[in-house]
Amino acid sequence: MVQSVQRAIRILRELATDGPRLGVTELADRLGVAKPTVHALLRTLESEGLVSRDSEGSKYRLGPDLVAFGNAYLDTHELRSRSLTWAELLASRTKEAVWVSVLTGDRILVVHHAFRPEGAVQILEVGAAIPWNASCFGKAIVAFSSPALRKELLLGELTALTGASVTDPAVLARQLDEAAGAGYAVEDQESTIGDGAIAAPVFDRSGQVAGAIGVVGPVERLLADPARQDLAVAVREIARNLSRELGARRGGSVHLHS
């Protein structure tokens, strides 16, 4: 690996996770690198529009050109582009907001968000990153991923976002088995207090899980029967149709952990 590139990426990650504004000294301490080296890296990143300085010139934050990179990633992501119509259909059918997500590292990334057709002002969640264990989207993906990835994630850091977030590997393993058997996963206020979600995996032409699609909304509306069962049926149906559009074989996937 090229050390200077690795350090520059670490600077961007520090600004993304612990920003929005950090100084040279703070970044040098976090990276364990000399201040002149960090300053030189920041000047290079600034010249390329990847970081910018505040009005006082002493603090740095992420730069505007990163937006172009993010948009380019979304625009060229096959699952996102193929899911647009299906997500709108699911939102129209269920009257709920719909997310499409992929797994990146130990987090799920929302790559598409179809708004609830009716309701109050809604916040676009595209780009949101959530720990996999605190999201039914993450559980739906991991339940159908390889045993090696499942083991790695269960042994890794398990972050709690609310008091309902599950961080016990044994409990998570049971939930993954249940999701693999049912074909969908459920979330009850694990990432956001008051919100519930139901998500099902989406598969690509190779039969590998490509991501997940599901509905998100107030827990009392999504998870109370019979609405919960009706939503689960709708989510699984749309996930199957989206999988077929991605080239997956008709008939669904093999349960890896049953």
pLDDT tens digit sequence for 130-172: 999 999 999 999 999 999 999 999 999 999 999 999 999 999 9
> Residue 72 above 70 pLDDT?
no
- What tokens appear for 181 in the block? 């058997």
- What tokens appear for 229 in the block? 């069962």
Q: Are 113 and 96 in contact (CB under 8 A)?
A: no
- In the three-class reduction of DSSP (H, G, I as helix; E, B as strand; rest coil), residue 186 is classed as strand
Give the C-alpha separation, 31 to 247, whole Å: 43
pLDDT tens per residue across span 185-227: 999 999 999 999 999 999 999 999 999 999 999 999 999 989 9
- What tokens appear for 248 in the block? 């997956």
Domain 3-63 and domain 77-245, same fold? Reply is no
CB neighbour list of residue 146: distance below 8 Å, 6 or more residues apart: 256
What is the predicted pLDDT for the residue at 254?
Answer: 42
List the one residue out of 63, 70, 82, 69 whose CA is nearest residue 11. Answer: 63
Give the rounded percent of residues in the chain with a pLDDT score beyond 90.
57
CATH number for the domain whose boundaries are 77-245: 3.30.450.40
- What tokens appear for 47 in the block? 């010249």
CATH number for the domain whose boundaries are 3-63: 1.10.10.10
Domain edges within the chain = 3-63, 77-245
* Residue pointed to by tokens 């676009």: 124
Stretch among 33-47, 54-68, 105-119 having the lowest mean pLDDT: 54-68
Give the rounded percent of residues in the chain with a pLDDT score beyond 70.
90
Give the C-alpha separation, 144 to 233, whole Å: 18
pLDDT tens per residue across span 84-106: 999 999 999 999 999 999 998 99
What is the predicted pLDDT for the residue at 53?
Answer: 87
What is the predicted pLDDT for the residue at 255?
Answer: 41
Q: Are 228 and 182 in contact (CB under 8 A)?
A: no
